[in-house]
Structure 1
Amino acid sequence: MKTLQWRTKNPEETKAVAKLAASLAKPGDILTLEGDLGAGKTTFTKGFAEGLGITRVVNSPTFTIIKEYHDGSLPLYHMDVYRMEDESEDLGLEEYFEGQGVCLIEWAHLIQDQLPAERLQIVITRAGDEARDITFTACGTRYETLCEEINKHDNTGN
């Protein structure tokens, strides 16, 4: 497993890292997002959506569980499984995982048993008032390559 860590100084830099990741995304990619409440998962997701060219407002799908965005270069399936408990088996998540879009899953550890083994795990932690540490852990060759591509850019996504 390859691990890559970035520190961002503010939400704009967090979005820039996410835009960079989105620019390298391919159909079928699965990214999991972990972090405490308010750590920046939704900020990351907004930046990722912008990187795909999605113009709709992106917010946390906490009560709808899955929000689909089809107006970008790739479909984005934004999932927040925080309140799901054992209901996830009925949602047909594997159809999303095997689809032509990108799955971005907040609180993914709650559905660990249903996640594909190959994915990019992203953990966001506070490193100050606005600073965040973003840790990418590649699970599988595709995601090791993705981490290598991300690492070719500087620490602000440029």
Structure 2
Amino acid sequence: MNEKHFFLADESDMLAFAERLATQVQASKEAAQQPLTCYLYGELGAGKTTFSRGFIRALGHKGNVKSPTYTLVESYDLAPWQVHHFDLYRLADPEELEFMGIRDYLDSHTIILAEWPQRGAGVLPEPDIKMVIEYAGTAREVTVGALTTRGRELLDKL
């Protein structure tokens, strides 16, 4: 797995980092025809939702980006993509994703941002990118790993 480390001093750095990744996703015309799955790991409050908010806004969403902690998923139609932001913190069993119709969220124009993906193991699609966000005092250290060709192409441009 290829990986890079990033030091982000504050929330504005996290939002700018998310925007950089979203910009790379948008830059590739053929990327619109490929799904993208990004796993987001980190303790409570580490910045997973902040990253997701910045990423979704950078793709063109103008309204609020709500945390899907209670709903499990919030979806955004951001042509040409359908972005699904999952927060699986409250998921008791991965099979719950099957009951909620996870397959309906997956197609070639889908971007999945999954917080707490370990709770959906075996049901979520395999990730292209894995991000680990860790506390570094008041800052954050982000490790981004690329697990597919698509993930490596994006990571190389960050």
Do Structure 1 and Structure 2 share a fold, with TM-score over 0.5?
Answer: yes
Letter aligned with residue 130 of structure 2: Q
- Structure 2 residue runs of 5 or longer lacking an equivalent are 26-30
The structure richer in strand per residue is 2
Displacement of 1:24: 1.8
Letter aligned with residue 18 of structure 1: A
Whole-angstrom CA distance in 2 between matches of 1:113 and 1:71: 27
Whole-angstrom CA distance in 2 between matches of 1:65 and 1:84: 8
User: Could you list the per-position Cα deviations for residues 12-37 of structure 1 after superposition, in whole angstroms to 9, with x for gaps in the alignment?
Assistant: 00111101111122441111111000
Runs of 4+ in 1 over 3 A off after TM superposition: none
Whole-angstrom CA distance in 1 between matches of 2:51 and 2:63: 15
Displacement of 1:51: 1.1
| Residue of 95, 109, 129 corresponding to 2:104 | 95
Preserved CA contact (<8 Å) 2:39 2:127: no
What residue in structure 1 maps to residue 120 of structure 2? Answer: 111
Whole-angstrom CA distance in 2 between matches of 1:141 and 1:115: 19
**Are residues 106 and 122 of structure 1, via their aligned partners in 2, closer, same or farther at CA, if it must alter by over 3 Å?**
same
Is 1:18 the counterpart of 2:21? The answer is: no
Whole-angstrom CA distance in 1 between matches of 2:130 and 2:141: 13
What residue in structure 1 maps to residue 143 of structure 2? Answer: 135
What residue in structure 2 maps to residue 69 of structure 1? Answer: 76
What residue in structure 1 maps to residue 5 of structure 2? Answer: 5
| Residue of 39, 42, 48 corresponding to 2:55 | 48
With the length of structure 1 as denominator, give the TM-score of the two structures: 0.87
Letter aligned with residue 20 of structure 1: R
RMSD: 1.6
Displacement of 1:118: 4.3
Whole-angstrom CA distance in 2 between matches of 1:114 and 1:29: 15
- Report matched runs for 1:121-132 at 5 Å: 121-129=130-138, 131-132=139-140
Displacement of 1:95: 3.4
Whole-angstrom CA distance in 1 between matches of 2:107 and 2:90: 23
- SS of 2:122's equivalent in the other structure is helix
Letter aligned with residue 123 of structure 1: V
Letter aligned with residue 89 of structure 2: Y
Preserved CA contact (<8 Å) 1:54 1:72: no
**Are residues 40 and 23 of structure 1, via their aligned partners in 2, closer, same or farther at CA, if it must alter by over 3 Å?**
same
Whole-angstrom CA distance in 2 between matches of 1:38 and 1:16: 18
Whole-angstrom CA distance in 1 between matches of 2:155 and 2:101: 28
